[in-house]
Structure 1
């Protein structure tokens, strides 16, 4: 059976990646690719790499344009999804990549985002305990933030296994520039980022409450870095152990948590994640150890911020919501060199 899907925010990087994945999906057809300022333009004028959409144009981002869709994927900026969702039929399935409906705590939302809290939807990270079934049963799903995916997948198994302290977690993560969207900004010019890395939103990144909510951490310090690469995230998560822990204990906790998971791979001992290995995929690569000097647990994870951190994640959730094979239209094999 084939289902019809509409994409809101299809002119952005994440929206374009959703269109790319859906173009080759065996059971999902794009019936509308919504955009605001680009409405009416050919899709290939914005996404020239999507040649299979050569005759297609962007539609307005409106309830009327999405009326015939079985499922709507939203890749709009934070704070814009809730208004559109409120105009769609209550029984129309939605996966929202924005942050509007991720947080359970209204106070946490108000501390990190402008505007009122729009409520809470089912959290869209299927690899968490119980979430696969919850996503499959849901009509409205809030997909995970890109940094949050990398951090949560590395941290949650440590806390579930009881080998790491929830009140002493540090995350340092670097993202490619596509994570900042495609709006023209001076700090994203090639002359500003080539040969340079920089920290931003230090001590106040909006994914902190999401990571805490989904992982069980109670105190989290997060430092995001902008890396001179177009896509990818590599995150290093460190935590104080609750007792003497070995590298084998860390690896065992990760292996137990993700045994049989199609999109999370714990690498062989001695092999460490690299962003290039994840390009174009929906895979998360993990490795863990214990720091020889401090004794802190260290887990490194790598994802494609536009894949497992965005478009791949929403397609994975859409598959579950529509009763399709979870892996349909998605790959764990990257592109090299």
Structure 2
């Protein structure tokens, strides 16, 4: 198929940027353009991503509007707080590119939430890049808002896992969103590539380490925002991520009180109904539990739901690859919708095993 769009990737030396490049290399209608970085400017891309052989001899260019302008698509895989400045510079330069922000800068609708959790001025709100998000007040999905968009805020990886696990129960009123508890096992690539002592193999291997405990994680307001979109009147969330000694993957275990009088069969039917036609979200057969190994390298979210009748709670689980469905895959999926391409173009549901 003829290549019809060019895409630049900013922050291409990091894990998320590298994963975006891997997916774009397999996309039938995308040609990779400029690859930019900050501290790696002037280095060969192969030094940072030796697995991306077709791009190994490319050289990282500076991350600025002059380099990124002129492309049909610009993917920003930058640290939080950096995307707003670059996006504004692109607009000032007259670029009409589709811009996808893999950082957090444009995800939150409430400026107060941004300022409380990130501590800087809010850069604004863009269309939210989770196509499967249920919009309860419209009887639709978020993908309808992404068609033709020119700016897209890619969700946080933990947010995607928690949202996809629980949202059918919220949308149907089968669970009480005022008492949601989410505990996640998260692979170390989610912490980025920066050299930090607690991320060294000597510290991480053979150890589970909780972080951002007690409601301090920056993904909390984003999860709450999504559950409100799915129909929650108010949300109270206890969210605890735990670093697990794996490079990729998130396994989210999310529980909430079951509405009185609801049977386990009714609960399962709701998840079946909402995910029956989704190309990347799959409800597993009863008794089969999702694992991170099942989704490694794939743009797949595997979901399971059960009822703990003694506790009176729904238990919903979701496994994703944090770098694919959690970040780069979500960007490509949203890009496809925005450009009028098939939503599944360049994306795979086949994982890597063992």
Q: Same fold by TM (over 0.5)? A: yes
Tell me the SS of whatever aligns to 2:178. strand
1:1-337 matches, cutoff 5 A: 1-89=3-91, 91-128=96-133, 129-203=140-214, 204-216=216-228, 217=232, 218-337=235-354
TM-score, scaled relative to structure 2 = 0.93
**Cα RMSD between the aligned structures?**
1.1
In structure 1, distance between residues paired with 2:141 and 2:351: 28
In structure 1, distance between residues paired with 2:100 and 2:51: 24
Consecutive unaligned residues of structure 1, counting only runs of 5 or more, are: none
Q: How many residues align?
A: 337
Tell me the SS of whatever aligns to 1:10. coil
In structure 1, distance between residues paired with 2:274 and 2:104: 26
- Is the CA contact (8 Å cut-off) linking 1:63 and 1:87 kept in structure 2? yes
1:293, distance to aligned residue in structure 2 (A):
2.1
Q: Deviations over 1:162-184 (max 9, x none)?
A: 10112111110111000000110
- Is the CA contact (8 Å cut-off) linking 2:72 and 2:96 kept in structure 1? no
- Is the CA contact (8 Å cut-off) linking 1:101 and 1:142 kept in structure 2? yes
- Is the CA contact (8 Å cut-off) linking 2:148 and 2:338 kept in structure 1? yes
1:144, distance to aligned residue in structure 2 (A):
0.6
- Is the CA contact (8 Å cut-off) linking 1:94 and 1:140 kept in structure 2? yes
**Paired position in structure 1 for 2:136:** none
In structure 2, distance between residues paired with 1:295 and 1:130: 29
- Is the CA contact (8 Å cut-off) linking 1:245 and 1:290 kept in structure 2? no
TM-score, scaled relative to structure 1 = 0.98
- Is the CA contact (8 Å cut-off) linking 1:232 and 1:275 kept in structure 2? yes
In structure 1, distance between residues paired with 2:212 and 2:56: 39
1:93, distance to aligned residue in structure 2 (A):
1.1
- Is the CA contact (8 Å cut-off) linking 1:79 and 1:100 kept in structure 2? yes
In structure 1, distance between residues paired with 2:309 and 2:173: 20
1:243, distance to aligned residue in structure 2 (A):
1.6
In structure 1, distance between residues paired with 2:264 and 2:248: 29
